[in-house]
Amino acid sequence: MSSTPLAPAPMLLSARDTAKALAVCPKTLWQLTRSGRLPVVRIGTRGVRYDVRDVESFIEAAKGAAPC
């Protein structure tokens, strides 16, 4: 049995993958982005990606936030 190394986890997520990871619709993700609550990495003129660490930080901050 040969052991193959695991592929590294992605550092950046697409908007679709980020919305899926947060269990929100793309519109909600865009609102979070526009409000500055969830930073983005811009690639070129149209590319938007989300740093996994920023997504994790958002989740941790949301745990302690009071409901709106």
pLDDT in tens, 16-68: 999 999 999 999 999 999 999 999 999 999 899 999 999 999 999 999 776 65
In a domain, 5, yes or no: no
CB 43 within 8 A of CB 49: yes
Confidence of residue 1 (pLDDT cuts 50, 70, 90): low
In a domain, 49, yes or no: yes
- Number of domains observed in the structure of the chain: 1
In a domain, 1, yes or no: no
Helical residues (DSSP H) of 1-68, grouped into ranges: 15-22, 26-34, 52-64
**pTM assigned to the model:** 0.79
Task: Note the pLDDT of residue 11.
Answer: 93
Give the structural domain span for 56: 12-63
Any idea what DSSP says for residue 38? S
Position 5 pLDDT exceeds 80: no
In a domain, 6, yes or no: no
Task: Note the pLDDT of residue 68.
Answer: 59
